[in-house]
Structure 1
Amino acid sequence: MLIKKETYEQTCADFHWQVPERYNIGWDICDKWAAEDPNRTAIIDVEEDLSSHEVSFADLKALSNQLANALAERGVKGKGTKPSGDGEEAIGDRVGVLLPQSIETAIAHIAALKMGCVSIPLFTLFGEEALEHRLNDSGARAIITNKEGVAKLTALRDRLPELQVILSVDGADDGVEDFSSACKGQSEDFTPFDSRSDDPAILIYTSGTTGNPKGALHGHRVLLGHLPGVEISHNFFPQTGDKIWTPADWAWIGGLLDVLMPALHHGVPVVARRFSKFTGEAALDLIKVHGIQNTFLPPTALKMMRQVSKCACWGIEMRSVASGGESLGTELIEWGQQVLGTTINEFYGQTECNMIVSSCADLELTRPGTMGKPVPGHELAVLDADSGERMPVGQEGAIGVLSPDPVMFLRYWNNPKATDDKFVKGPEGHWLLTGDQGVCDDDGYIRFVGRDDDVIGSAGYRIGPGEVEDCLLRHPAVQFAGVVGKPDELRNAVVAAYIKLADGYEPSDDLEKEIALFVKSRLAAHEYPRVVRFIDEMPMTTTGKIIRGQLRTMAVDEAKADKAAK
């Protein structure tokens, strides 16, 4: 646990990793507290009308143990129950969790982890093709879901030969067992598998924009690796009275390992809330009514909340707000101070190696236009991606993380080449390349430039889309903005801005010119968008990141059409 010192440098110097050889996430986030403080609130489940009921750690332990026994009875094997011939490196069966934020979601992950199985978080909005790839690629043996999930799985069942057990929280169906009935009557006692901290625990598929997603396999130590980043991004979490929530689905690393599991590790209540449709008003109501003190809000959620009129009237005073995924910009930071009562701390990471850079208002560790500094315990650098050597201060390069690191993934599932390609060997050792470009300044702050394939090369300039998007979002007509390069014979590429307008604004030639001039007058002449296009919906991943690959395709197609028309 991080101990706050007077400065960032002192906080880093005081921190030392404590990763035991034997460690099990399921025991840590459940059984540990059930023994120490059984009636302590673990999860607050909130309904649409904002009514709620609470579940204690004693409840979580009993329910997860019953599910573990039910799965074992149905032939699901953890690493500890694999035949001896499978050896030490044998991996437990994979268990899918296809549910929204709910008590049952937490129970399913905890049960699988205590068994020595590998849990697979799955997003409820996945279509059949996405589910088929993940379940077949992982060889999942069991899945816990609801009636919506069952409907999708029914169409796939013949194409999922490894899937033997389906439990639904909404009742039995053809080839599907009722979750409650399966658990009822099972013993509330279960001995967690004595796992190593490096044993496989969680398999999360990356939200890639092209090609099939890759499965990032994490060991049990991944939770311990997340803690410094969670703690510093929430101004030294936990503090007395903390209560945390996120709209990010627990199927993603941002919901599961940035919020749910770290909070349970610390014994902090987690609010679970399922939105039929997320709105800024509903989020503000939830925060106010349930006295939420801490939240991870993805940039998309913040932008939607900012659209709410008179949002300052909610009178919210939060202790900490963290955000990551896209750069926020000065306007959103200032909005957070006015409406949420705190400075939003930006952080940075990815599925393979998360929560590794952060700002921290409590340490005055903030600098507009940057993500912050490396989180204590993690060694980051801006590198030459070919040689693995550090780039000079102020020069752009690949953001890398020195291996080994407790938060770093074990490997890509069934993809050794992709695992090898993720690393580069340099004079200091092996670095994990995040795939992002950045710049480190004289004071150690890291500025995000863009994905390797996002950086725009125009007339000899290298332009990161993030800064242009931040500027666009300051214009009152812009709700969402995505910036890419449009091929250009003269300049190689020009900056093209794709914009979803805010309510009350209509597309027009005059508005295009106004927005372009707005950026040109605030940034630089080479950075303003020479092309402005209004679109009905911004293409985004399920985690709320803009899919610039789709925007690039639109820009390339337009450039081809322009050339053909000449």
Structure 2
Amino acid sequence: MPPPPVDAGSLFRRRTTMPACGWRWRKPRMTMIALADWTGDALAAIGLRRGAAGLEIAVPADASIYAMTVGRQIAAGRGSAPAMVFERADGTLEHWSFGQIDAAATALAARLRALGFGRGDFIGVHTGMRPETGIAHMAVCKLGGVAVTLSQLYGPDALAHALNHCRARCLLTTEAGWSDLRGEAARLFPALEQVLVAESAGPEQDLREVLAAPVPAGFRPDYTAADDVALLMYTSGSTGMPKGIRHGHRVLASYVPSISLFFDLSLHDADAVFWSPSDWAWVGGLLDMLFPAWLAGRPVATSEARFRADWAYGFMARHRVTHSFLAPTAIKRLAQSPNPREDHDLSLRVVCTGGEALAADTLAWAEQRLGVVCNEFYGMTEVNHLIGNCAALYPRKPGSMGVAYPGHTVCLVDADGNEVPDGEPGEIVTPATAPTRYLGYLDAPGKDADLRLGRWLRTHDLAVRDADGYFWYKGRSDDLIKSSGFRIGPAEIEDCLLAHPAVAEAAVIGKPDPERGQIVKAFVRTAASAEPGAALAEALKAHVRARLAAYKAPREIAFVDGFEMTSSGKINRRALRAADAGA
């Protein structure tokens, strides 16, 4: 079992300011104690211990996602504490305590066992950002099964690929997510035997009724261990169809140190309320927000509403949200409001962000205008939380990814797996024994081999490390632009373009060119006050030329009304390359 939560007050002296204009949260001023000087108990409280080679991440052999989250709160006598508030489309609210979540999860686990499912079985979780999703994960833990995380953004073919690839026999979904699939289910999902639908309007058993049913007296949970599979998450790679990534229960225990740091050592604040617009089918919404909140015994606010900046501000104000995971794209959308604290009564104070590079200007807006601590972190679904920031512990460098998190070894290597010196670009790698590592792809041994480079797990992401140990993102290896012998990362050009007041969003690709091999092409969505055209294109080229280098300036700029996004909320550069090639 993981250690008890850290008492941040014993580590730092905090104080807030009271400006004349009224109360507003300000970044706490702290007297910092170096991590290496923490006591053993304080380190244990954020999942670390001292080892022969330095700080190590502690992963108990009996770690269980249920035991670390809802189970921890029940064992501590906190069953009546709030766990979730769900805001429906009509504005009505559902409040769930940890005890209610636990009882509903036990009822669901008992029903699934009665239907013939048990240890090791794949249970599709397709219930969106609703209470049923959190309950389902706890129920699958009690069953000893494997939760297959499925986004309601999936179209029929994507959903069919995932369910048929893992041969899942059971699906938990909602009427909204199932109604358009019901008529084709037999053809699309031939392996499915049971479908439970929340608020069902069809013949399927209503999942809500199952959650409210009494638990049979003889039911006993079948909890599995740290290295048993808990999650199957489908994610796209650079080639082929999405791959099923298997994670053990160990994943949450291995995330505890980095979660504690990127939430700025404030996970356990007494008034903390968590929210994220990121889909709970993905790491960002599930493992970086929902489970951490429950690990800390704090409530999550949620809604099925689509993300819009004005709606998000209102939602955060209504529910007094203090902590959030926001993808950089979401922060950019929020940044269209220049002075949000003047327009909204916000309690937000800590934002963690990841999934793509965060522009330095966007970070500056978040901290100066939104008034939050914003800690960026880096990793990927297969091996996560490798690099990041923690403003409470060490200074951040705007535009940097941060430093290697404690308990992680992170190196930059060349194509042969040899480490490169500071100041030179290389691929980010970590040992194959990394604590946050996945358990392997499902039924794809060749894909596992593709992720190995000797003793390393590779990321296909490029970065430079400076003399202080800070990493600076340079783009994907397969997005790298090679022009006239220069190696150019698109991320830094995008960052530069975003610093121009006429640019709202930008994406950069390499376009084939017979003379130079590739040229830099930028796609730009302008700010509302800007006029797209030849004059602005020349101004943006000059801006990059002046800010970075002449050879990095786009030779072509196309103005667009918007961007196609991936299911994880990133601009789809692959679609841009395909569209450009077909133009």
1:136 aligns to 2:161 (yes or no)? no
1:109 aligns to 2:150 (yes or no)? no
Describe the SS at the equivalent of 1:362. coil
- 1:116 and 1:31 mapped to 2: Cα distance? 15
How far 1:309 moved relative to its partner? 5.2
- 1:342 and 1:436 mapped to 2: Cα distance? 28
When residues 431 and 510 of structure 1 are mapped into structure 2, their CA distance, relative to the original with a 3 A threshold, is: same
When residues 144 and 414 of structure 1 are mapped into structure 2, their CA distance, relative to the original with a 3 A threshold, is: same
Structure 2 matches for 1:11-410, cutoff 5 A?
15-36=55-76, 37-48=78-89, 52-78=93-119, 92-154=120-182, 155-174=184-203, 176-187=204-215, 190-208=219-237, 210-240=239-269, 241-275=271-305, 277-308=306-337, 310-313=339-342, 314-386=344-416, 388-410=417-439
Q: Calculate percent identity across the aligned residue pairs.
A: 36
How far 1:317 moved relative to its partner? 4.9
When residues 385 and 50 of structure 1 are mapped into structure 2, their CA distance, relative to the original with a 3 A threshold, is: farther
The one-letter code sitting in structure 2 at the alignment partner of 1:71 is L
When residues 482 and 491 of structure 1 are mapped into structure 2, their CA distance, relative to the original with a 3 A threshold, is: same
How far 1:338 moved relative to its partner? 2.4
Contact 1:519 1:528 in 2 (8 A): yes
Moved more, 500-509 or 118-127: 500-509
The one-letter code sitting in structure 2 at the alignment partner of 1:41 is P
- 1:74 and 1:452 mapped to 2: Cα distance? 47
How far 1:456 moved relative to its partner? 0.8
The one-letter code sitting in structure 2 at the alignment partner of 1:495 is V
Aligned to 2:481: 456
The one-letter code sitting in structure 1 at the alignment partner of 2:108 is L
- 1:345 and 1:217 mapped to 2: Cα distance? 27
- 1:516 and 1:10 mapped to 2: Cα distance? 49
- 1:177 and 1:42 mapped to 2: Cα distance? 26
- 2:518 and 2:108 mapped to 1: Cα distance? 56
The one-letter code sitting in structure 1 at the alignment partner of 2:501 is P
Contact 1:343 1:361 in 2 (8 A): yes
Describe the SS at the equivalent of 2:541. helix
The one-letter code sitting in structure 1 at the alignment partner of 2:63 is Y
How far 1:48 moved relative to its partner? 4.2
When residues 6 and 185 of structure 1 are mapped into structure 2, their CA distance, relative to the original with a 3 A threshold, is: closer
Contact 1:479 1:501 in 2 (8 A): yes
When residues 188 and 300 of structure 1 are mapped into structure 2, their CA distance, relative to the original with a 3 A threshold, is: farther
How far 1:210 moved relative to its partner? 4.6
1:478 aligns to 2:503 (yes or no)? yes
- 1:100 and 1:482 mapped to 2: Cα distance? 29
- 1:370 and 1:309 mapped to 2: Cα distance? 23
How far 1:371 moved relative to its partner? 0.3
Of the three residues 465, 476, 491, the one matched with 1:466 is 491
When residues 57 and 188 of structure 1 are mapped into structure 2, their CA distance, relative to the original with a 3 A threshold, is: farther
Could you report, residue by residue, the CA deviation over 1:445-480 in whole angstroms, capped at 9, with x for unpaired residues?
A: 111111111111111211111111011112222221
Name stretches of at least 5 consecutive residues in structure 1 with no aligned partner. 79-91, 559-566
Describe the SS at the equivalent of 1:526. helix
Moved more, 337-346 or 95-104: 337-346
How far 1:403 moved relative to its partner? 2.6
The one-letter code sitting in structure 2 at the alignment partner of 1:22 is D
Of the three residues 30, 34, 40, the one matched with 1:7 is 34
When residues 322 and 223 of structure 1 are mapped into structure 2, their CA distance, relative to the original with a 3 A threshold, is: same
Describe the SS at the equivalent of 1:521. helix
Describe the SS at the equivalent of 2:551. coil
- 1:508 and 1:445 mapped to 2: Cα distance? 38
Could you report, residue by residue, the CA deviation over 1:255-308 in whole angstroms, capped at 9, with x for unpaired residues?
A: 000011121112121111221x31111111222222211111111111111113
Aligned to 2:553: 528
Describe the SS at the equivalent of 1:370. coil
Aligned to 1:491: 516
The one-letter code sitting in structure 1 at the alignment partner of 2:447 is A
The one-letter code sitting in structure 1 at the alignment partner of 2:314 is D
When residues 192 and 374 of structure 1 are mapped into structure 2, their CA distance, relative to the original with a 3 A threshold, is: farther
- 1:361 and 1:31 mapped to 2: Cα distance? 31
How far 1:17 moved relative to its partner? 2.5
- 2:498 and 2:163 mapped to 1: Cα distance? 39
- 2:196 and 2:488 mapped to 1: Cα distance? 50
- 1:149 and 1:271 mapped to 2: Cα distance? 21
Moved more, 15-24 or 513-522: 15-24
Moved more, 99-108 or 309-318: 309-318
Aligned to 1:441: 466
Could you report, residue by residue, the CA deviation over 1:488-547 in whole angstroms, capped at 9, with x for unpaired residues?
A: 222211110011222343431112112211221211111111100012221220111121
- 1:163 and 1:463 mapped to 2: Cα distance? 47
How far 1:6 moved relative to its partner? 2.1
Could you report, residue by residue, the CA deviation over 1:127-147 in whole angstroms, capped at 9, with x for unpaired residues?
A: 000000000001111111111
Aligned length: 538
- 2:266 and 2:452 mapped to 1: Cα distance? 32
Moved more, 499-508 or 130-139: 499-508
When residues 395 and 310 of structure 1 are mapped into structure 2, their CA distance, relative to the original with a 3 A threshold, is: closer
- 1:210 and 1:403 mapped to 2: Cα distance? 22
Could you report, residue by residue, the CA deviation over 1:6-55 in whole angstroms, capped at 9, with x for unpaired residues?
A: 23555688544222212221232112212311111111222346553321
- 1:446 and 1:539 mapped to 2: Cα distance? 28
Aligned to 2:45: none
- 1:28 and 1:226 mapped to 2: Cα distance? 12
Contact 1:499 1:538 in 2 (8 A): no
Aligned to 1:542: 567
Could you report, residue by residue, the CA deviation over 1:321-362 in whole angstroms, capped at 9, with x for unpaired residues?
A: 111122222211111112321231111111111222111111
Aligned to 1:423: 452
The one-letter code sitting in structure 1 at the alignment partner of 2:154 is F
How far 1:374 moved relative to its partner? 1.1
Name stretches of at least 5 consecutive residues in structure 2 with no aligned partner. 12-31, 39-47
- 1:413 and 1:404 mapped to 2: Cα distance? 19
Contact 2:126 2:152 in 1 (8 A): yes
Contact 1:114 1:193 in 2 (8 A): yes
Could you report, residue by residue, the CA deviation over 1:105-145 in whole angstroms, capped at 9, with x for unpaired residues?
A: 11111101221110011111110000000000011111111
